[in-house]
Structure 1
Amino acid sequence: MTKPPAPDQPDQRVELLEEQLQLRKHLVELGRVLVETKVETTPHVVEALLKEEEVKVERVPVGQFVEEVPPIREENGVLIIPVLEERLVVQTRLMLKEELRVTKTVREELVRRTIPLRAEHATVTRLEEPDLRFPITVEGEDQ
């Protein structure tokens, strides 16, 4: 138990202390640099193999009666497509009127072109050496 203070003694108080920390940041310039870019164009030769196909259609008259439709066929690299018509005779019969002969020719050509390609190069130059003993504070808003 604590004793009540005596009437002749003044109140005793204990003051409590508190430390507070306030942290601030500011921008410090330590030096400056200059960045320059340069675009360099160099020609490059490129090659490509180009293929071209040419189709020639030749009509070959046949003039022959057939019993059924001949199939589409290929002979020595030539595609043969039968063309038919019906002719009225005492009876209807198939007449092979003509054949279409399709020949394909493949031609290859090596093409060479010069194409310019660009490359960018950067140069960095320090404008002044920083003196770290005396940093420069940049004025403005705290970071």
Structure 2
Amino acid sequence: MTIPVVAEQLAVGTRTVDTGRGVRIHKTVIEQPVTIDERLVRDEVEIKHVAVDRIVALEEAPTTRHEGDTMIVPILEEVLVVERRVRIKEELHITRIQREETHREAVVLKAEQVSIERFDESGTPPTK
């Protein structure tokens, strides 16, 4: 005697169905004025001519140097005497001055807002 054995099998799949329903998406851009308030740092340079009028030997001629925030640049000149000497005519004293100020400016920021509207096959929104 034979006894039949039965087994069920399941096949799962997907398909696209047009239901006639859909959505509308509305996007709007809003502008919102905003004031920014930032601190800015700016360097300024102050140049002062300082008369020196000092004779120095050629090998002793000074070079650019710094004294604190001030850079001193010697201005040299050869002077004809019985012998040639280097005279420091003047120095440039360059001082860095750092100033801090507040900068205020109005700017416009934009943001997008989206609203979604669902509708049925007739194109009318469904009632709740």
TM-score, shorter chain, exceeding 0.5? yes
TM-score (norm 2): 0.71
Relative to structure 1, the CA distance from residue 26 to residue 50 in structure 2 (aligned partners, 3 Å threshold; closer, same or farther) is closer
CA RMSD of aligned residues (A): 2.2
2:87 to 77, 91, 95: 95
Distance in structure 2 (CA, Å) of the matches to 1:26 and 1:109: 64
Q: Work out the CA distance in 2 between the residues paired with 1:26 and 1:74.
A: 81
Q: Which residue of 1 aligns with 2:107?
A: 115
Runs of 4+ in 1 over 4 A off after TM superposition: none
Question: TM-score of the superposition, structure 1-length normalised?
Answer: 0.65
Q: 1:40 aligns with which of 24, 30, 34?
A: 30
User: How many residues were matched structurally?
Assistant: 106
2:120 and 2:36 map into 1 onto residues whose CA distance is: 46
Letter in 2 for 1:86: E
Tell me how far 1:76 sits from its aligned partner.
Answer: 3.6
Unaligned runs of 5+ in 2: 1-14, 123-128
What is the correspondence of 1:42-57 to structure 2 with a 5 Å cutoff? 42-57=32-47
1:31 aligns with 2:25: no
Change (3 A) 1:72 1:26: closer
Percent identity of equivalent pairs: 34
| Offset at residue 104 of structure 1 (A) | 1.7
Structure 1 runs not aligned, ≥5 long: 1-24, 131-143
Q: What pairs up with 1:116-131 in 2 under 5 angstroms?
A: 116-128=108-120
